[in-house]
Amino acid sequence: MALSRKLVQQRSSVFGSRSMSWWRSVEPAPKDPILGVTEAFLADPSPDKVNVGVGAYRDDNGKPVVLECVREAERRIAGNLNMEYLPMGGSVKKVEETLKLAYGENSEHIKDKRIAAVQALSGTGACRLFADFQKRFRPESQIYIPVPTWANHHNIWRDAHVPQKTFRYYHPETKGLDFAGLVDDIKNAPNGSFFLLHACAHNPTGVDPSEEQWKEISKLIKEKGHFPFFDMAYQGFASGDPERDAKAIRIFLEDGHLIGIAQSYAKNMGLYGQRVGCLSMLCEDEKQAVAVKSQLQMLARPMYSNPPVHGALIVSTILGDQELKTLWLKEVKGMADRIIGMRTALRENLEKLGSPLSWEHITNQIGMFCYSGMTPEQVDRLTNEFHIYMTRNGRISMAGVTTGNVGYLANAIHEVTKST
């Protein structure tokens, strides 16, 4: 029965002051630097506006893309499967196919059942699950994170209560790898430290070590007894070939490391919102892998119980069917090639405008992002004067560059950088 107004007033005068104060101390959270850019872009009415902030692939008309292999997988799935819960560790078939991509089709480690792996909530969820595992089983450890890195890495390990250290990675003058700094920092870290490495297409810099440099890094990490954890959010997006983009991981495997990998299908299958990924950890033997997997599941259970089913079905349908897998490989290459083409076009346009600066790094860097070297003030001018939106660290998402806007973008970059 409805309470009379008088009774409600009486009750709120008794309980009101306490219940009203529950959230009074909560301040608004700071805006996410990446998602905030999209909000500002959407609010801008200018017809010239360009969004090169968001880390999601766009076609040459600037439109989001659903891959044909995904559409076909959806057609096959539709109406054919139930919606039961997946096991805590996710779809076994999807995990099996995912491991083959990272560890190799004929991996001995897979055959020997030495890999503990669970389906995760995309790359972010895989990193977070690992960070929680690290905290639970190595509570005294820290994580070494490259400078710079994807901003969310800091949030992930912070919320898992793992102390963070950094290592040198990017050299602002050369706009390339600070290899000497990186080597020094690996050497100087206490033996047995955890290192977070981007397997390919480093975000935000687009700077990856060469094969020779990876070999050197692997050797040093081995000598120091460090634990390498790979975040592989862009397999296939760097070179267009997922095999080639797994090179760093294969080098570490050959050198006999025990490694961890976070994999994501957000970018390379365009499954951003499906949240489908994988966390795997190579163990000493099958028994250890069984134990580690059971503990990963134990971490997942009170957080989300079990992962979502639809994205996993899409992935296992595509990778489990030779025809669809071949189509996927062709489509990944198509996305990577379009981005590589836009790098060339942006650089050529800037050079044609007579820019006094070197823009070689645009084509030297790889993957979705170009770390342009522009200052926050120059980025502000791009936004305020030209309606071009990107993060203030100067990161350009090459996926947002199209044949239609590359000339406009180059011109605007030239205008804000020509007097530096």
Which residues are designated catalytic? 150, 231, 267
Tell the smallest beta-carbon distance from residue 150 to ligand PLP (Å): 4
Location of structure tokens 């791009």: 382
Choice between 266 and 406, CB closer to ligand PLP = 266
The site that binds ligand PLP (CB under 6 A) totals a number of residues, namely 13
Tell the smallest beta-carbon distance from residue 10 to ligand PLP (Å): 50
First to last CA, the chain: 73
Choice between 150 and 194, CB closer to ligand PLP = 150
Residue 343 in contact with residue 353, Cβ under 8 Å? Answer: no
Choice between 198 and 338, CB closer to ligand PLP = 198
Choice between 288 and 393, CB closer to ligand PLP = 393
Tell the smallest beta-carbon distance from residue 177 to ligand PLP (Å): 16
User: Which spans in 78-201 are helix H?
Assistant: 92-103, 108-111, 122-137, 151-159, 179-188
263 forms part of the interface with ligand PLP (CB under 6 A)? no
266 forms part of the interface with ligand PLP (CB under 6 A)? yes
The first and second tokens of residue 207, run together, are 């700077």
Location of structure tokens 């490391």: 257
Residue 128 in contact with residue 159, Cβ under 8 Å? Answer: yes
Residue from 233, 300, 314, 339 that binds ligand PLP (CB under 6 A)?
233
397 forms part of the interface with ligand PLP (CB under 6 A)? no
Per CB under 6 A, contacts with ligand PLP among 142-181 are: 150
Choice between 122 and 239, CB closer to ligand PLP = 122
For every residue of 271-334, DSSP letters joined together read -GGG--EEEEEE-SSHHHHHHHHHHHHHHHHHHHSS--SHHHHHHHHHHTSHHHHHHHHHHHHH
Tell the smallest beta-carbon distance from residue 303 to ligand PLP (Å): 15
DSSP label of 26: P
Per CB under 6 A, contacts with ligand PLP among 79-138 are: 122-124
User: Which spans in 189-285 are helix H?
Assistant: 211-224, 242-245, 247-254
Per CB under 6 A, contacts with ligand PLP among 198-217 are: 198, 203
Run of H or E residues at 10:
helix 5-20
Q: Burial code of 215-236, b = ≥16 C-beta within 10 A, e = fewer?
A: bbbbeebeebebbbbbbbbbbb
Residue from 72, 97, 185, 231 that binds ligand PLP (CB under 6 A)?
231
Tell the smallest beta-carbon distance from residue 276 to ligand PLP (Å): 8
Choice between 53 and 123, CB closer to ligand PLP = 123
Query: What's the CA gap between 361 and 207, in Å, rounded?
Result: 9
CA–CA distances in Å: residue 419 to residues 118, 355, 356, 414, 416:
52, 10, 9, 9, 7
Tell the smallest beta-carbon distance from residue 18 to ligand PLP (Å): 39
Residue from 205, 239, 264, 280 that binds ligand PLP (CB under 6 A)?
264
The total number of residues written for the chain in this structure? 420
Tell the smallest beta-carbon distance from residue 263 to ligand PLP (Å): 9
Choice between 207 and 345, CB closer to ligand PLP = 207
Contacting residues toward ligand PLP, per CB under 6 A: 55, 122-124, 150, 198, 203, 231, 233, 264, 266, 272, 277
